[in-house]
């Protein structure tokens, strides 16, 4: 699996958009970008994934650059409950281990 790089922490004001970046410059053609988040004392929760097109679901949007070397997770209207550690991982579609880095700790402030 390709390695990812994320900032260790970010702050966001409640109600504003939270934009979480991820670099994955060594991603290969068959690898997807996945985002998970982990709220304190819980297991990680799947948020969204994509290959090369931008994706949107009820939780978030995922913007992947044309060269696929980086992506941004967007929480359009952050709430206090979105405070969590956000993990960006890249992995191919075959079942197998996924490597979780240290993630970004997002703190949403009132």
* Contacting residues toward another protein, per CB under 8 A: 32, 34, 36, 42-46, 49, 51, 87, 93-103
Closer residue to another protein, CB minimum distance, 29 or 95: 95
Torsion of CA 33, 103, 110, 48, to 10 degrees: 20
Find the shortest distance in angstroms from Cβ 26 to another protein: 18
- CB-CB neighbours of 28 under 10 Å: 11
Closer residue to another protein, CB minimum distance, 82 or 87: 87
Find the shortest distance in angstroms from Cβ 15 to another protein: 28
Q: How far is CA 44 from CA 38, 86, 88, in A?
A: 4, 9, 12
């Amino acid at each position: 699996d390709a390695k990812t790089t994320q900032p260790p922490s970010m702050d966001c004001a409640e109600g504003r958009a939270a934009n979480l970046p991820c670099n994955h410059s060594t991603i290969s053609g068959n690898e997807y970008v996945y985002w998970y988040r982990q709220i304190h004392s819980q297991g990680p929760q799947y948020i969204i994934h994509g290959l090369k097109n931008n994706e949107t679901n009820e939780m978030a949007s995922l913007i992947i650059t044309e060269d696929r070397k980086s992506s941004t997770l967007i929480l359009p209207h952050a709430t206090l409950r979105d405070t969590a550690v956000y993990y960006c991982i890249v992995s191919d579609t075959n079942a197998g281990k996924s490597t979780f880095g240290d993630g970004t700790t997002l703190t949403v402030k009132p």
